């Protein structure tokens, strides 16, 4: 029976593939373009993480299921949108928030399995969560969500730290994983709903006598 970790990883792949397909649809790409953007979004963060950690071969090379799930999710998204109606922009942001939550915790756990330090585990968690979306947005000529005002990477950091804290308390795996994912998701959805952002740093030009 597949593990909870594996099923969560595939869920994250599917959700991020959906966001990639939706973004490609906004840019009126053909089906090939949709598949390319969807797959890059789905596996980009995990690929970068595995390369840095020396986890070779990377997940989608070891297991064809990752590419299959990403492709099916993208195709189903295209069919769904064609048969119903275009999805509002918030639909893309909400789907992205779910993928962000799943991949942040998975990235943190993979790093811990490689016996990295806590700070490295947090960085790997954030990277796994945001890198695929950054690749998606750059390829689609959009400003990446991580560089926009609303809280994004901060949600990943808090969720990753939550996971580390719960792991130190030796809670059941499904519980610490679920809580940490919920933290990322709640913070990100709150940021979308109420346009929450961190204080900005403004460098003012001042005349120096």
Separation CA 7–CA 175 (nearest Å): 15
**Per-residue pLDDT reduced to its tens digit, 90-141:** 888 999 999 999 999 999 999 999 999 999 999 999 999 999 999 999 999 9
Q: What does the buried/exposed string (b/e) look like for 48-64 if buried means 16 or more CB atoms within 10 Å of the residue's CB?
A: bbbeebebeebbbeeee
> What is the pLDDT confidence band of residue 169, given thresholds at 50, 70 and 90?
very high
**Per-residue pLDDT reduced to its tens digit, 64-89:** 999 999 999 999 999 999 888 766 77
60: pLDDT strictly greater than 80: yes
Token pair in block for residue 35: 């598949």
- State the pLDDT at residue 105: 98
55 CA to centre of own chain: 19
Section 194-207 average pLDDT: 77
Tell me whether the omega of the peptide bond preceding residue 110 falls within 30 degrees of 0, making it cis.
no
44: pLDDT strictly greater than 70: yes
In degrees rounded to 5, what are phi and psi of residue 117?
A: -75, 165
- On average, the pLDDT of the chain sits at 93
Q: Which pTM value belongs to this model?
A: 0.93
Separation CA 124–CA 116 (nearest Å): 10
202: pLDDT strictly greater than 60: yes
- State the pLDDT at residue 200: 78
Section 7-20 average pLDDT: 96
């Amino acid at each position: 029976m597949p593990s909870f970790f594996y099923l969560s990883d595939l869920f994250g792949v599917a959700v991020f593939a959906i966001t990639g397909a939706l973004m490609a649809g906004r840019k009126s790409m053909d089906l090939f373009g949709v598949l390319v953007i969807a797959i890059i979004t789905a596996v980009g963060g995990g690929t970068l993480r595995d390369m840095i950690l020396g986890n070779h071969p990377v997940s989608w090379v070891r297991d064809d299921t990752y590419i299959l799930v990403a492709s099916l999710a993208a195709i189903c998204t295209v069919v769904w949108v064609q048969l119903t109606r275009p999805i509002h922009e918030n639909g893309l942001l909400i789907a992205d928030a779910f993928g962000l939550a799943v991949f942040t915790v998975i990235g943190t756990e993979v790093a811990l399995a490689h016996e990295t330090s806590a700070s490295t585990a947090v960085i790997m968690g954030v990277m796994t969560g945001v890198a695929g979306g950054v690749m998606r947005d750059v390829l689609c000529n959009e400003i990446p969500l991580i560089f926009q005002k609303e809280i994004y990477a901060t949600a990943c950091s808090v969720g990753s730290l939550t996971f580390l804290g719960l792991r130190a308390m030796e809670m059941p795996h499904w519980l610490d994983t679920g809580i940490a994912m919920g933290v990322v998701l709640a913070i990100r959805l709150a940021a979308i709903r109420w346009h929450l952002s961190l204080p900005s740093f403004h460098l003012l030009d001042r005349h120096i006598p």
